[in-house]
Amino acid sequence: MPLAKALELAQEYDLDLVEVAANARPPVCKLMDYGKYKYESAMKAREARKNQAHTVIKEMKLRPKIDPHDYDTKKGHVVRFLKQGDKVKITIMFRGREQSRPELGFRLLQRLADDVADLGFVESNPKQDGRNMIMVLGPHKKKTEAMAEAREAQAARKAGRQQESASAGDSAEEPAEA
């Protein structure tokens, strides 16, 4: 349709005439509310940024002669990081004579990897780097999945608390009537 007629039609319906494909022959235009379109696209972009995950590498430092309780505590932190969908860099620091026994550190890293095998996998195998031995663990589930699960769990907890407070309010009223 001619440009003048298209502009007249757009004015009649109180819409904007937007050129969709300028390189096509003839050029393709569309009648739309351009302000509403821009607003909706901005909202989609905002939602996409909100759901976007930033890859974070958490670090946990150990020593070769670590106490069993300390090991369990550090392992708990690694488990928490992997559940949140973060990568974990495990560093074993060797001091003094410990440097002559790197196999102790290697065994400790293997033990930790076996303990958290259900949550993560060894992304880079243990390797000696000067006085330190480093290994990187990656989570099985992606950060976005972990974030979605956390939001669902939080919503469930909130609903449970609201239900408890509602039932507590009902039980508080009953003795007052009796």
Sketch out the chain's domains with CATH numbers.
3-51 (3.10.20.80), 57-139 (3.30.110.10)
Return the residue matching tokens 């979605």.
148
Q: Which residues of the chain have pLDDT under 50?
A: 178
15 contacts 32 by C-beta, under 8 angstroms: yes
Q: Are strands 87-93 and 132-139 parallel, antiparallel or unpaired?
A: antiparallel
64 contacts 98 by C-beta, under 8 angstroms: yes
**Which whole-number Å values give the CA distances from 32 to 6, 8, 14, 41, 93, in the listed order?**
12, 14, 9, 14, 63
* pLDDT confidence of residue 178: 47
pTM listed for this prediction: 0.59
89 contacts 58 by C-beta, under 8 angstroms: yes
7 contacts 17 by C-beta, under 8 angstroms: yes
* pLDDT confidence of residue 113: 92
- 109: enclosing H helix or E strand: helix 102-115
For residues 161 and 167, give the distance between their C-alpha atoms in angstroms, rounded to a whole number. 10
Cis peptide before 2 (omega within 30 of 0): no
For residues 22 and 27, give the distance between their C-alpha atoms in angstroms, rounded to a whole number. 5
**Which whole-number Å values give the CA distances from 108 to 31, 48, 63, 66, 93, in the listed order?**
66, 40, 9, 9, 12
* pLDDT confidence of residue 79: 92
What secondary structure letter does DSSP report for 15?
Answer: -
* pLDDT confidence of residue 60: 93
112 contacts 140 by C-beta, under 8 angstroms: no
